Amino acid sequence: MAGKLYGIGVGPGDPKLLTLKAKEILENVQAVAYPVKEKGEESTAYHIAAQAADLSGKQIIEIEFKMDKDRQKREACRREAAKLLASYLDQGLDIGMITLGDVSVYSTYTYVNQMLAQKGYETEIVPGIPSFCGGAAKAQISLAEGNESFGVISSLKGEAQLETALKTFDNLVVMKAGSSVKKIAAKLAAMGLESHGAVLSNVGMADEYIGPLDTERDYGYFTTLIIKKKEDVQDGLFYRRRTGGSPASDN
Protein backbone atom coordinates (compact mmCIF):
# COMPACT_ATOMS: atom_id res chain seq x y z
CA MET A 1 0.00 0.00 0.00
CA ALA A 2 1.30 3.44 -0.89
CA GLY A 3 2.35 5.83 1.85
CA LYS A 4 0.61 9.10 2.70
CA LEU A 5 1.96 12.57 2.05
CA TYR A 6 1.60 15.24 4.73
CA GLY A 7 2.31 18.91 4.05
CA ILE A 8 3.26 20.39 7.41
CA GLY A 9 3.73 24.04 8.37
CA VAL A 10 6.39 24.44 11.09
CA GLY A 11 5.53 28.07 11.89
CA PRO A 12 7.62 31.24 11.82
CA GLY A 13 10.76 30.14 13.70
CA ASP A 14 10.26 29.34 17.39
CA PRO A 15 10.20 25.50 17.58
CA LYS A 16 7.54 25.77 20.30
CA LEU A 17 5.21 27.27 17.70
CA LEU A 18 4.86 23.89 16.00
CA THR A 19 1.42 22.45 16.61
CA LEU A 20 0.89 19.31 18.66
CA LYS A 21 -0.32 17.67 15.44
CA ALA A 22 2.79 18.62 13.46
CA LYS A 23 5.04 17.14 16.14
CA GLU A 24 2.98 13.94 16.35
CA ILE A 25 2.90 13.37 12.60
CA LEU A 26 6.60 14.19 12.15
CA GLU A 27 7.47 11.62 14.80
CA ASN A 28 5.29 8.97 13.12
CA VAL A 29 6.29 9.31 9.46
CA GLN A 30 9.21 7.36 8.04
CA ALA A 31 10.55 10.18 5.85
CA VAL A 32 10.92 13.96 6.17
CA ALA A 33 11.09 16.06 3.00
CA TYR A 34 11.93 19.73 2.60
CA PRO A 35 12.44 22.14 -0.27
CA VAL A 36 15.93 23.43 -1.10
CA LYS A 37 17.15 25.75 -3.83
CA GLU A 38 20.35 23.74 -4.19
CA LYS A 39 21.16 20.22 -2.99
CA GLY A 40 22.97 20.06 0.34
CA GLU A 41 21.66 23.45 1.41
CA GLU A 42 20.77 23.99 5.08
CA SER A 43 17.02 23.96 5.65
CA THR A 44 15.61 26.44 8.18
CA ALA A 45 12.34 24.48 8.27
CA TYR A 46 14.24 21.28 9.15
CA HIS A 47 16.30 23.09 11.78
CA ILE A 48 13.09 24.34 13.44
CA ALA A 49 11.27 20.99 13.22
CA ALA A 50 14.23 19.01 14.57
CA GLN A 51 14.23 21.12 17.75
CA ALA A 52 10.57 20.34 18.44
CA ALA A 53 10.23 16.75 17.22
CA ASP A 54 12.48 13.70 17.38
CA LEU A 55 13.51 13.18 13.76
CA SER A 56 16.33 10.73 14.41
CA GLY A 57 16.44 7.77 12.06
CA LYS A 58 14.10 9.32 9.50
CA GLN A 59 14.80 9.11 5.81
CA ILE A 60 15.60 12.65 4.61
CA ILE A 61 14.37 13.76 1.17
CA GLU A 62 15.67 17.00 -0.31
CA ILE A 63 13.31 18.47 -2.89
CA GLU A 64 14.91 20.82 -5.37
CA PHE A 65 12.83 23.86 -6.23
CA LYS A 66 14.89 26.04 -8.53
CA MET A 67 13.86 29.69 -8.49
CA ASP A 68 14.02 29.91 -12.26
CA LYS A 69 12.41 32.86 -14.01
CA ASP A 70 11.32 30.54 -16.78
CA ARG A 71 7.88 29.16 -16.00
CA GLN A 72 8.35 25.93 -17.95
CA LYS A 73 11.57 25.17 -16.07
CA ARG A 74 9.82 25.78 -12.75
CA GLU A 75 6.99 23.46 -13.78
CA ALA A 76 9.39 20.74 -14.93
CA CYS A 77 11.09 21.06 -11.56
CA ARG A 78 7.76 20.55 -9.77
CA ARG A 79 6.99 17.45 -11.85
CA GLU A 80 10.42 16.04 -10.91
CA ALA A 81 9.67 16.79 -7.25
CA ALA A 82 6.32 14.98 -7.44
CA LYS A 83 8.00 12.02 -9.15
CA LEU A 84 10.67 11.79 -6.46
CA LEU A 85 8.11 11.92 -3.65
CA ALA A 86 5.96 9.32 -5.45
CA SER A 87 8.92 6.93 -5.55
CA TYR A 88 9.08 6.99 -1.75
CA LEU A 89 5.29 6.80 -1.35
CA ASP A 90 5.28 3.75 -3.63
CA GLN A 91 7.65 2.04 -1.20
CA GLY A 92 4.97 2.49 1.45
CA LEU A 93 6.73 5.30 3.29
CA ASP A 94 4.67 8.09 4.86
CA ILE A 95 6.28 11.46 4.19
CA GLY A 96 6.08 14.69 6.18
CA MET A 97 7.04 17.54 3.86
CA ILE A 98 7.81 20.58 5.97
CA THR A 99 7.57 24.23 5.10
CA LEU A 100 8.23 27.50 6.97
CA GLY A 101 5.15 29.30 8.32
CA ASP A 102 1.84 28.00 7.00
CA VAL A 103 1.45 25.60 4.08
CA SER A 104 -1.26 27.63 2.30
CA VAL A 105 0.67 30.91 2.36
CA TYR A 106 3.39 31.17 -0.30
CA SER A 107 4.71 27.64 0.00
CA THR A 108 5.95 25.46 -2.83
CA TYR A 109 4.25 22.45 -1.29
CA THR A 110 0.84 23.18 -2.82
CA TYR A 111 2.08 22.31 -6.33
CA VAL A 112 3.27 18.82 -5.47
CA ASN A 113 0.25 18.18 -3.25
CA GLN A 114 -2.07 18.83 -6.18
CA MET A 115 -0.05 16.69 -8.61
CA LEU A 116 0.13 13.74 -6.24
CA ALA A 117 -3.53 14.01 -5.15
CA GLN A 118 -4.48 13.93 -8.83
CA LYS A 119 -2.50 10.72 -9.21
CA GLY A 120 -4.54 9.16 -6.40
CA TYR A 121 -2.10 9.41 -3.50
CA GLU A 122 -3.54 10.21 -0.10
CA THR A 123 -2.56 13.71 1.02
CA GLU A 124 -3.19 15.86 4.09
CA ILE A 125 -2.22 19.41 4.99
CA VAL A 126 -1.37 20.41 8.56
CA PRO A 127 -1.53 24.19 8.89
CA GLY A 128 1.17 26.21 10.67
CA ILE A 129 1.41 29.70 12.16
CA PRO A 130 1.99 32.12 9.23
CA SER A 131 4.94 34.47 9.72
CA PHE A 132 2.71 37.55 9.73
CA CYS A 133 0.71 36.19 12.69
CA GLY A 134 3.97 35.38 14.49
CA GLY A 135 5.20 38.91 13.78
CA ALA A 136 1.99 40.62 14.89
CA ALA A 137 2.11 38.62 18.13
CA LYS A 138 5.72 39.69 18.78
CA ALA A 139 4.85 43.31 18.09
CA GLN A 140 1.64 42.91 20.12
CA ILE A 141 -0.45 44.61 17.48
CA SER A 142 -3.54 43.26 15.76
CA LEU A 143 -3.96 42.55 12.05
CA ALA A 144 -7.68 43.29 12.10
CA GLU A 145 -10.25 44.26 14.70
CA GLY A 146 -14.04 44.42 14.57
CA ASN A 147 -15.17 44.75 10.97
CA GLU A 148 -11.77 45.70 9.56
CA SER A 149 -10.24 44.00 6.54
CA PHE A 150 -6.59 43.26 5.86
CA GLY A 151 -4.53 42.42 2.83
CA VAL A 152 -1.33 40.41 2.42
CA ILE A 153 1.18 41.27 -0.30
CA SER A 154 4.43 39.45 -0.99
CA SER A 155 7.19 41.66 -2.40
CA LEU A 156 5.66 44.94 -3.46
CA LYS A 157 5.17 45.33 -7.21
CA GLY A 158 5.13 49.13 -7.20
CA GLU A 159 3.78 52.23 -5.53
CA ALA A 160 0.46 51.97 -7.35
CA GLN A 161 -0.16 48.52 -5.83
CA LEU A 162 0.54 49.90 -2.37
CA GLU A 163 -1.78 52.85 -2.85
CA THR A 164 -4.67 50.76 -4.22
CA ALA A 165 -4.26 48.16 -1.49
CA LEU A 166 -4.27 50.83 1.22
CA LYS A 167 -7.39 52.38 -0.25
CA THR A 168 -9.18 49.02 -0.38
CA PHE A 169 -8.12 47.52 2.95
CA ASP A 170 -7.93 48.87 6.51
CA ASN A 171 -4.67 47.15 7.26
CA LEU A 172 -1.90 45.76 5.12
CA VAL A 173 0.85 43.19 5.53
CA VAL A 174 3.81 43.46 3.16
CA MET A 175 6.04 40.37 3.26
CA LYS A 176 9.59 40.27 1.87
CA ALA A 177 9.63 44.06 2.26
CA GLY A 178 13.36 44.39 3.03
CA SER A 179 14.32 46.16 -0.17
CA SER A 180 11.19 48.32 -0.42
CA VAL A 181 11.08 49.80 3.11
CA LYS A 182 12.34 53.23 1.94
CA LYS A 183 9.83 53.39 -0.91
CA ILE A 184 6.97 52.36 1.38
CA ALA A 185 8.01 54.85 4.08
CA ALA A 186 8.00 57.69 1.52
CA LYS A 187 4.54 56.71 0.29
CA LEU A 188 3.17 56.48 3.83
CA ALA A 189 4.64 59.90 4.66
CA ALA A 190 2.95 61.36 1.59
CA MET A 191 -0.34 59.90 2.84
CA GLY A 192 0.21 61.23 6.39
CA LEU A 193 0.63 57.68 7.69
CA GLU A 194 4.34 57.72 8.61
CA SER A 195 3.74 56.49 12.16
CA HIS A 196 1.24 53.82 11.08
CA GLY A 197 3.78 51.21 10.00
CA ALA A 198 5.53 48.58 12.11
CA VAL A 199 8.62 46.71 10.89
CA LEU A 200 9.27 43.10 11.86
CA SER A 201 12.68 42.08 10.61
CA ASN A 202 14.60 38.81 11.09
CA VAL A 203 12.26 37.83 13.91
CA GLY A 204 13.86 35.27 16.21
CA MET A 205 17.34 35.87 14.83
CA ALA A 206 20.26 37.70 16.48
CA ASP A 207 19.60 40.93 14.58
CA GLU A 208 15.83 40.92 15.18
CA TYR A 209 14.21 44.34 14.85
CA ILE A 210 10.62 45.04 15.83
CA GLY A 211 9.84 48.71 15.80
CA PRO A 212 8.78 51.79 13.90
CA LEU A 213 9.70 52.39 10.25
CA ASP A 214 13.32 53.50 10.36
CA THR A 215 14.66 54.30 6.91
CA GLU A 216 18.24 54.61 8.21
CA ARG A 217 18.46 50.87 8.82
CA ASP A 218 19.19 48.08 6.37
CA TYR A 219 16.66 45.27 6.40
CA GLY A 220 17.11 41.64 5.38
CA TYR A 221 14.96 39.38 3.21
CA PHE A 222 12.75 38.25 6.10
CA THR A 223 11.25 41.67 6.71
CA THR A 224 7.51 42.15 7.12
CA LEU A 225 5.67 45.44 7.36
CA ILE A 226 2.32 45.85 9.06
CA ILE A 227 0.51 49.05 8.13
CA LYS A 228 -2.61 50.12 10.05
CA LYS A 229 -4.51 52.89 8.31
CA LYS A 230 -6.54 54.02 11.32
CA GLU A 231 -4.03 53.48 14.07
CA ASP A 232 -0.77 55.09 15.07
CA VAL A 233 1.27 52.03 15.99
CA GLN A 234 4.21 53.91 17.54
CA ASP A 235 2.51 54.05 20.93
CA GLY A 236 1.79 50.34 20.95
CA LEU A 237 5.36 49.51 19.97
CA PHE A 238 6.63 51.90 22.64
CA TYR A 239 4.54 50.30 25.38
CA ARG A 240 5.52 46.85 24.25
CA ARG A 241 9.16 47.71 24.68
CA ARG A 242 8.64 49.44 28.01
CA THR A 243 6.77 46.50 29.50
CA GLY A 244 9.30 43.85 28.72
CA GLY A 245 8.07 42.24 25.53
CA SER A 246 10.95 41.03 23.40
CA PRO A 247 12.89 44.32 23.13
CA ALA A 248 13.54 46.08 19.86
CA SER A 249 17.23 46.04 19.06
CA ASP A 250 17.54 49.82 19.24
CA ASN A 251 16.38 49.81 22.86
Of residues 75 through 134, those in contact with its own copies by CB under 8 A are 102-107, 110-111, 113-114, 117-118, 120-130, 133-134
Q: How far is 3 from 48, CA to CA, in rounded Å?
A: 24
Site string for its own copies, 157-196 (x = CB under 8 A): x---x--xx--xx---------------------------
Interaction of residue 244 with its own copies, rule CB under 8 A: yes
One of 141, 177, 185, 193 touching its own copies (CB under 8 A): 141
Size of the site for its own copies (CB under 8 A): 71
Q: Can you tell me the distance from the alpha carbon of 224 to that of 155, in angstroms, rounded to the nearest whole number?
A: 10
CB of 131 to its own copies, least distance (A): 10
Least CB distance to its own copies at residue 18 (A): 6
Contact with its own copies (CB under 8 A) among 27, 30, 189, 236 = 236
Q: Nearer Cβ to its own copies, position 57 or 244? A: 244
Q: From the CB of 163, what's the least distance to its own copies, in Å?
A: 10
- List CB contacts of 219: < 8 A, sequence separation 6 or more: 177, 178, 179, 181, 199, 201, 209
Residue 216, C-beta contacts closer than 8 angstroms, at least 6 positions apart: none
Which amino acid would we find at residue 14?
Answer: D
Of residues 21, 66, 183, 229, which one binds its own copies by CB under 8 A?
21
Q: Which amino acid is at 226?
A: I
Residue closest to 251 by CA, chosen among 242, 135, 199, 213? 242
Using rule CB under 8 A, residue 237 touches its own copies: no
Q: How far apart are CA 78 and CA 84, in angstroms?
A: 10
Buried residues in 13-25 as b, exposed as e (16+ CB within 10 A): bbbebbbeebbeb
Q: Does residue 10 bind its own copies (CB under 8 A)? A: no
- Cβ at position 40, least distance to its own copies in Å: 25
Give, in degrees to the nearest 5, the angle at Cα 38 between 76 and 64: 35
